[in-house]
Structure 1
Amino acid sequence: MSFRVRPVRGEDFAAIYEMAKLTGGGFTNLPPDRGTLVGKIARSEESFARAEDGQQGDMYMFVLEDPAEGLVRGTCQVFGQVGVVQPFYSYHLGNLTQTSPELGKTFRNQLLTLTTDLEGSSEVGGLFLHPQSRAGGWGALLARSRYLFIKAHRARFGERVLAELRGVMDEAGNCPFWDGLAGRFFGMHFSEADEFNAVHGTRFIADLMPRTPIYVSLLAESAQAVMGQPHPTGRPALRMLEEEGFYFDRYIDIFDGGPTVVADTDDIRTVREAATETVCEIGDGGRTKALVSAGQLTDFRACFANMKRVPKKGLCLNREATELLEVEVGDQVLVVGR
């Protein structure tokens, strides 16, 4: 039996908590805090249980599961709308050109401006794979299953989707961007601020951060060098996002300076290319590799499958995939090329 993606359940807490302790810090959506994780799982269950359609401040958490072994080896999240409960802050990197006729010189300066431009967007995040499961393409299964869920529940999500990537920090948890900017206003180490943010939210940012634009040239070179750069472990995730059509629109995280990438929801490759098909046969599935999902809300499942098209009838899926998806002949599935 292979892996599948499904909604988180209360009994998954122990596995989620163990993975949270392996993130290495700076992973706001998966903090190693028991109370916060219990709250996240409860919030996810409430979101899946909500009957009426429409975009709200939902949070949907998924797990990567090996049903045969009873193991959970990954997790990811989708947020229906950011900025609902608390403002969603980002820095936007802009330019200011100034000319002095007397000196005969033109100066072009970069500015960081605190904004809430991205409020109302949906968000994908919280993706983490257990170190023992980082081969076999399971990260792609986790990541792309979120887009199939969005496609299957389109009314619950906005016109734009964002993803925040963790910024650069060293093994000791030091963050050059934090040390060069926000840390000077908060009087605390990055790890303390990051933990506080993960548990309590971002309201304290509005209370203490300067509202005026920041000249980048005034920051330490170490801070400037990492602006908009992902943590080395996040580069594969960035490549997957870019393959889906996400792009860097000069928004960066106010804590660690990591990039925030965005995409129009209906232009995300998996959302755009996924098609509804009917299962007409169960067999070996043929040679075509695909990503397939089935079910709505709490019944949502996604996995890799072998498939072949049967003219005028539908799809033949391999038996293992139909067992993972819990579908039978006559059921509908969402299918996109692997």
Structure 2
Amino acid sequence: MTFRIRAARASDLQHLYEMAKLTGGGFTNLPPDRKALAAKLDRSGAAFARDEELVSDELFVLMLENAATGEVRGTCQLFTQVGQQHPFYSYRLGTLTQHSKELERTFRAEMLALTTDLEGACEVGGLFLHPGERAGGLGLLLARSRYLFIRAHRARFADRILAELRGIIDEAGGSPFWDGLAGRFFGMNFQDADQFNATNGHQFIADLMPKHPIYTAMLSEAARSAIGLPHPSGRAAMRMLENEGFHYENYVDIFDGGPTMTARTDKVRSIAEAREHPIVAIDGDGGTESLVAVGRLDDFRCAFGMVREAGDGIVLSRACADTLAVVEDDVVLHVPRW
């Protein structure tokens, strides 16, 4: 396989824009807006250029590239610490229990409370794989490469990590959750609100959204049934996150009601199990299929390869070495593909 992950460049704007047009809406981190995407690439370029080992409010954009042809077929993003420039809002689903002695009945009411509990966490997001490439594990390569990037730059990322999954979107591109809740206060449909958020940030939520808890019993059935559920296309991503050690802790997206998954950064499986070794030989004689990464910041690359241990180092498959442009004695990060 000749696909590899690399740092995004300013010249990737057209690639990002073409992919953004394929998302189908509800994809806040990849809006089909050239100005917003160019701003993301500028911000990412600044993050790649900074070499200080401390947490700041940064964005890294990575690209999936066919090393043989130069074609770009996917992208993903990492946010080092959310909620520093603008509040990072979520809904937290909770329960209020009340008892009536006279009626001899206990009532349990579900409520959605607007919260900034997740402020300060780092975030993995913005993952998109071209529909023509959704086979062969490239989605897994995109997703897990982010954890090896974090491992290689651990001091740049917060100790808690989150991932937001897109919620239920109907065939018309609307959101039952938005229509049943926020849309009643904002006077705009989901597509307009989503686009505004993607290009202008969350502040309008703080300005207009009621701060008191919302009883879910007051929502429509369609809105209630969407709470905490991922879009059908995101179910595999949710399983992948669970396999990494992420959990759903009743936080949902304020726009579409999709689940927000959280974990402790150092407990994420790919981060915890990644190992660093020098390459002692390059050949094609078997081993364990693994994700292999090398380089720092804008020189970061990641690809699939066959790895086997050899003393204090590893033997790497020739195909992977060529894809990553590494040679003997280079030090790489690797973690088994599972």
TM-score of Structure 1 vs Structure 2, range by shorter chain = over 0.9
Instruction: Tell me if the contact between 1:3 and 1:303 (Cα under 8 Å) persists in the aligned partners.
Output: yes
Give the Cα–Cα distance (whole angstroms) in 2 for the partners of residues 66 and 251 of structure 1.
36
Q: Counterpart in 1 of 2:328? A: 329
Cα 1:285–1:262 shift into 2, 3 Å: farther
The amino acid across from 1:236 in the alignment is A
Instruction: Tell me if the contact between 1:4 and 1:64 (Cα under 8 Å) persists in the aligned partners.
Output: yes
| Worse overlay, 313-322 or 128-137 | 313-322
Q: Secondary structure at the match of 1:52?
A: coil
The amino acid across from 1:103 in the alignment is L
Q: Secondary structure at the match of 2:173?
A: coil
| Worse overlay, 85-94 or 95-104 | 95-104
- Residue 148 of structure 2 is aligned to residue 126 of structure 1: no
Q: Secondary structure at the match of 2:328?
A: coil
Q: Counterpart in 2 of 1:207? A: 207
Gaps of 5+ in 1: none
Give the Cα–Cα distance (whole angstroms) in 2 for the partners of residues 100 and 168 of structure 1.
36
Give the Cα–Cα distance (whole angstroms) in 1 for the partners of residues 221 and 87 of structure 2.
29
| Worse overlay, 321-330 or 300-309 | 321-330
The amino acid across from 1:122 in the alignment is C
Render the CA deviation track for 1:127-167: whole Å, top value 9, x for unaligned.
00001100000000000000000011110111110000000
The amino acid across from 2:111 in the alignment is L
- Residue 55 of structure 2 is aligned to residue 28 of structure 1: no
The amino acid across from 1:215 in the alignment is Y
Displacement of 1:183 = 0.2
**5 Å matches for 1:261-272?**
261-272=261-272
Q: Secondary structure at the match of 2:271?
A: helix
| Worse overlay, 298-307 or 315-324 | 315-324
Give the Cα–Cα distance (whole angstroms) in 2 for the partners of residues 178 and 255 of structure 1.
6
Give the Cα–Cα distance (whole angstroms) in 2 for the partners of residues 171 and 33 of structure 1.
22
Q: Counterpart in 1 of 2:112? A: 112
| Worse overlay, 281-290 or 137-146 | 281-290
Give the Cα–Cα distance (whole angstroms) in 2 for the partners of residues 107 and 45 of structure 1.
53
Q: Counterpart in 2 of 1:316? A: 315
Give the Cα–Cα distance (whole angstroms) in 2 for the partners of residues 59 and 285 of structure 1.
39
The amino acid across from 1:246 in the alignment is F
Q: Counterpart in 1 of 2:94? A: 94
Displacement of 1:314 = 1.2
Cα 1:285–1:5 shift into 2, 3 Å: farther
Instruction: Tell me if the contact between 1:74 and 1:127 (Cα under 8 Å) persists in the aligned partners.
Output: yes
The amino acid across from 1:95 in the alignment is T
Q: Secondary structure at the match of 2:11?
A: helix
Displacement of 1:2 = 1.0
Instruction: Tell me if the contact between 2:96 and 2:108 (Cα under 8 Å) persists in the aligned partners.
Output: yes
Q: Secondary structure at the match of 1:171?
A: coil
Instruction: Tell me if the contact between 2:277 and 2:312 (Cα under 8 Å) persists in the aligned partners.
Output: no
Q: Counterpart in 2 of 1:194? A: 194
Give the Cα–Cα distance (whole angstroms) in 2 for the partners of residues 100 and 157 of structure 1.
48
Instruction: Tell me if the contact between 1:167 and 1:256 (Cα under 8 Å) persists in the aligned partners.
Output: yes
Instruction: Tell me if the contact between 1:301 and 1:324 (Cα under 8 Å) persists in the aligned partners.
Output: no
Tell me the percent identity: 58
**5 Å matches for 1:221-240?**
221-240=221-240
Q: Counterpart in 1 of 2:138? A: 138
Instruction: Tell me if the contact between 1:285 and 1:307 (Cα under 8 Å) persists in the aligned partners.
Output: no
Give the Cα–Cα distance (whole angstroms) in 2 for the partners of residues 58 and 16 of structure 1.
19
The amino acid across from 2:315 in the alignment is C
The amino acid across from 2:207 in the alignment is D
Displacement of 1:326 = 2.1
The two structures, once aligned, show a CA RMSD in angstroms of 0.8
Give the Cα–Cα distance (whole angstroms) in 1 for the partners of residues 107 and 171 of structure 2.
37
The amino acid across from 1:251 in the alignment is Y
Q: Counterpart in 2 of 1:46? A: 46
Q: Counterpart in 1 of 2:176? A: 176
- Residue 167 of structure 2 is aligned to residue 162 of structure 1: no
Q: Secondary structure at the match of 1:211?
A: coil
Q: Secondary structure at the match of 2:243?
A: helix
Q: Secondary structure at the match of 1:70?
A: coil
Give the Cα–Cα distance (whole angstroms) in 2 for the partners of residues 247 and 293 of structure 1.
26
Q: Counterpart in 2 of 1:151? A: 151
**Equivalent pairs, count:** 337
Runs of 4+ aligned residues of structure 1 deviating over 6 Å after TM superposition are none
Instruction: Tell me if the contact between 1:285 and 1:319 (Cα under 8 Å) persists in the aligned partners.
Output: no
Displacement of 1:62 = 0.3
Render the CA deviation track for 1:296-336: whole Å, top value 9, x for unaligned.
111100000012222x2411111221122222111110010
